[in-house]
Each structure stands twice: as structure tokens, then as C-alpha cells.
Amino acid sequence: MCDTILVLGSLTQDGRSYFAKNSDRAPNEAQYLTKVEAARHAPDARVQATYIDLPQVGQTYACIGSRPWWIWGFEHGVNEHGLTIGNEAVWSRLAADGGPNLLGMDLLRLTLERARDADEGLKVLTGLIETYGQGGHAALTREMVYHNAFLLADGRSGWVVESAGRHWVARKVTQWAAISNVYSIGRDYDLISDQAEAFATEQGWHPAGTPFDWARAYTDSTRANLPACHARLAMSRAKVAGLPKGGIGLTEMIDVLRDHGGDPDRHPAAGGQACVCMHGVSASSGSETAASMIVALPATPQTPREIWVSLASPCLSGFIPVWLDTDLPKGWSQPAHHTDPDQWWDIERLQRLIDPDYTSLARGLRAQFNGMPHKARAELSLASKADAATRNAISQRAARSYREIVDAGLQDRADRPRSPDPRGDYLADINRAIPRTSRDAREDLALHASP
């Protein structure tokens, strides 16, 4: 489960486009930042994704992405040219492929590594879908197979792409777009794969001779989770539509990702699966937000892109800046061993201590994190030259402030009594099942090569 939003520069405070995504995963699926350097490859080179390998291209681009600990691909990410992508699970009448194939996250990372902008990304992504299809189990601890939707953006334009097997449809973004875990392109598409309509007609999903509606033809309307998915899409769309045109910026996008339906103190147990900031309620089903990213995309490709990243639930976390030419903060990338610093698990543990008393405690923690983006941007504006070294120092200071807030919170909450959790045994159940999520643990899975 996920939610992805794009607002183009015509609606923002500073003329930059803003991309934002919450990545929702099964509880205990730690998610880490990964930086991939640009590289040239031999003509016979191959690349190993999560389950399968495929021919490599001659040149791949540098990128930063957020990666579930056991997966090769990214939930969201941005490359050196400013192409930014997020993906969503969607469910079709066409049965998803559970055999080894490219996950949606793999398709996303491959596209970031191979395309320079949204238009080229559309061609690369749909080419991969038509050539390889998609599939594979997308969760470790439960049965989870699905098709994928994507939102691609650069500083000038964007595309929504929805797919089912090797079929796809695309709509160009005008002003803004929001997507979730449902098909949302109906008759209003700009491009469609050659056989998508004919295949739906053959299956009896579309009446021949009538205007083709992708969502109506391909949606699996029997899914029990569809009402919650539609509710999250409606929530994000209403939130963005209500923002002042010409007044949208980083703070507003953070608010969108933290949305609990208008009530920031709403307890996670109260409809958490239907909120953009998703909270788990069951150890065996549903998801919770594992990581978030906001990217400020200037119209000129040469300008460095601000990448704002957050770990775990954004309503109880902060956003710090990183750039492609700076170092990743200590503890934000996947640790080599489970004893190494791991900021994801530190903030996740703190959030689990706060969750039972969310209504009374969340606002205080959030207030400590809220000043961090403003401080970092103030430092950027005051710098005589925001070169890589200056930006790296700003990023590392923000990461230290984040770590200090988390460490102090863990120390403060460690021995305090907690209220009964309205979700019953949820926290106890997931705490009993915490896995090792380090690189050596991933290697032990023997899925494939390390990223």
C-alpha cells in the first residue's frame, strides 16, 4: 500500500515541482536509503534484480532510492537527471504472476538507472513491462502478488502509468496528480499499449464498440481492501485540491504525507488503513508507512535537487535533506550487520513506545521534528555557495539532530508505563516477530546479489 503525489511548478511557492510518496509495507519490513553510482557496462553485462536477471544497458545513471531490506528495487527514488518515480500496488481481474519476475520496485529502479526525464522514463518503463511483464512475491511473511501503477516526474512534467501484466495505460499530468492502490485512469488516457483494449474485450471486461475505460475494465472489484484504498486516494486528492494555488511547498507536502483525515491526533487504531499516513492494525494483514520521500524538482536539470527523506511513520518522524552528491546519513542505509547503527529500527522502536498513548504524545514528538526542514533551508539560503561540501554538512547536522531527538525519546519512554493499545495484541505480535534486516541477513535469504 502506498500513496504518491506530484504538484507541478505552476502551483508551488518557488516554481519547483514537488513529488511526495509514503511507502507502506508489512510491519517489520525495514526500509533503507540506497545510493547507486553512475556506471558504464560491458556489452554482455547483466543485472540481477530481486528474482531474475536481465541484460544490462551500456550506461546507467546515479540515483538514490528507498529500498525494503530484502528487495533489490526501490519504492521511490530520484536519479542524477531529476527523474523521480514512485510505485503503487494495484489489483486487476488479470491474475498477477506469482512466479519469479520483475517486481514493481525492480521496474522502478531499472527505469531510474536508464532514463533521463519523465518522457524517456515512460518509454523505458513501458518497454520493460511489455518485454518482461511483472510479478513475483512482494512480501516475505505473507502472500502478496500484484500489478503496479507508477507516477513519474521531472521538473517540467509527469506521467501516471497503470499496468496489468504486459498491458499499460498512461495519462500526462496537468498541474497535479495523486495515485494510490487503485486504478484511476478511466477514459482519460493519453497513451495505451497496443493490445490492452482488445484483450479486455476478449475477456468480456469491456463491451466492444464503446469508449474504453481502463479502470472499469481491469479493476478487480472483489478485493476487500478496495474501500480503504479508495478512501486514501480521496484523502490525498482532497488535501492537495484544498491547498492554495501558488502557495504549495515543502511544509504543505509534509502535511499531505502526515494526513490522518484532518485530525493530527487521531489514534492509529481509528481507521489507520484508510489514512495517507498509514498505521498497522493487524500483524497478519494490512500495512504501515515504512518510509517517505519528498523531492523538490527545479525546471533546470543542472540545479541540485533537494531530496527530503523520513523513516517509518511520517507523523512521528522528521524529514532531513540529502543530495545525490552528498553522503547518506549514518544509520540510514542498510547496516552490514544487525549490531551496526540502524536509524530505521531506532525510530520504529520509539514510535511503538508512543503508539498506545498516541493522542497525548504524538504532537510533542512531531513538534521536535518540525523545525528541522526550516533550519536546513535557512542554512542553505545563508550559505555563500551551496556546493556539495556545504550541503553535505547541512545534511549531516540534520541527521545528528534527528538522532538526538530519537535517542532522547527512547531514553525517556523506555521505563514509563503505557496505556492499553486499542489494537489489542498488535504491538506484542509484531515485536515477537522482528527479523534481522541487515545486509548479511539479506544474503542469508539467498534471493540474489546484494544491491
Q: Which residues does the annotation mark as catalytic?
A: 2
End-to-end CA distance of the chain: 23
- Kindly provide the residue ranges of all beta strands, DSSP E only, lying in 50-184, ordered along the sequence: 53-55, 59-60, 63-68, 76-79, 84-90, 147-153, 158-164, 167-172, 176-179
355 and 366 Cβ atoms separated by less than 8 Å: no
For 445, counting Cβ atoms within 10 Å of its Cβ (0-12 exposed, 13-18 middle, 19+ buried), the class is exposed
Sequence-ordered list of residues with C-beta below 8 angstroms from that of 351, at least 6 positions apart, any chain:
312, 313, 316, 317
For residue 144, CA distances in Å to 4, 135, 264, 269, 284 come to 20, 10, 30, 23, 12
C-alpha cell at 329: 546519513
- Contact between residue 316 and residue 362 where contact means Cβ atoms under 8 Å apart: yes
CA 420/CA 195 separation, integer angstroms? 54
User: What is the C-alpha radius of gyration for the chain, rounded to an integer number of angstroms?
Assistant: 21
Query: CA distances (Å), 213 to each of 82, 154, 218, in order?
Result: 32, 27, 9
Q: What is the dihedral of CA 221, 225, 228, 229, to 10 degrees?
A: -60
CA pair distance 89, 104, nearest whole angstrom: 8
> Cβ distance 196 to 215 under 8 Å?
no
CA 299, distance to chain mean position in Å, is 22
